[in-house]
Structure 1
Amino acid sequence: MPPSPFATRWSRPIRKSCGCRCDMDENLIFDLVRQALWIAVRMSAPLLAVALIAGVAIGLFQALTSVQEMTLTFVPKVGLMLAVFWVSMSFMTAILSGFFTEAVIPLIAGN
């Protein structure tokens, strides 16, 4: 007998061995994880790009001048990464909040 079109989420029969009434399947979970990984890449790209460029520039400077100071590699990299993080924080927040409002919260709410 097919379920009633007026059935709510909680009146659906239990189909899983765990006892849950959710309609999530593997494809939906894989798609959500794929989206989350892509968002993680987009959020970390500015910081990683600045760290890469600063590391190459400082390494080139050290090789050309024969200065082998450890703080010369650490302090500018950290300073630049903090500056880029501060500038791109609104971008990262917008991406993450958009992902949660468009993908995660509707799944939790059951829409």
Structure 2
Amino acid sequence: MTGAEVLDIAREGVWVLVIMSLPMMVVGLLVGVVIALFQALTQIQEMTLVFVPKILAIFITMILSLPFLGATIAAYMDRIVDLIIIGG
């Protein structure tokens, strides 16, 4: 296996990581913006108000996207296993 092939595998691994974390990050961002807007409109400046809804939203998103996450990581691992078996 050459250095270029190793870099390709690492690059693909980083993209898999980004693709898998994207749904949770977007939901966390949207919930954070909505709560910040709510806090600005009501002038409630409680720092802990953001954490519980954001954690719940991210957890629900993770549960709903588990089939997608599993399929994505399984496809990546199938490619890695094939490369190990074939040897390059």
Give the TM interval when normalised to the shorter protein.
Answer: over 0.9
Q: How many residues align?
A: 87
User: Distance in 2 between the 1:26 and 1:56 partners?
Assistant: 43
Structure 1 consecutive aligned stretches of length 4 or more whose deviation exceeds 4 Å: none
1:109 pairs with 2:74 = no
Instruction: Structure 1: state its 5+ residue gaps.
Output: 1-23
- Tell me which residue corresponds to 1:39: 16
What SS does the aligned partner of 1:27 have?
helix
Identity of aligned residues (%): 38
1:1-111 correspondence to structure 2 within 5 Å? 24-101=1-78, 103-111=79-87
Q: Give the distance between the partners of 1:70 and 1:106, measured in 2 at CA.
A: 49
Higher relative contact order (CA closer than 8 Å, sequence separation 6+): 2
> Aligned AA for 2:46?
E
From the two aligned structures, give the one with the greater helix fraction.
Answer: 2
RMSD: 1.0
With normalisation by structure 2, the TM-score equals: 0.93
Structure 2 Cα separation of the partners of residues 93 and 45 of structure 1: 14
Specify every segment of 5 or more residues in structure 2 that has no aligned partner in the other structure, as ranges: none
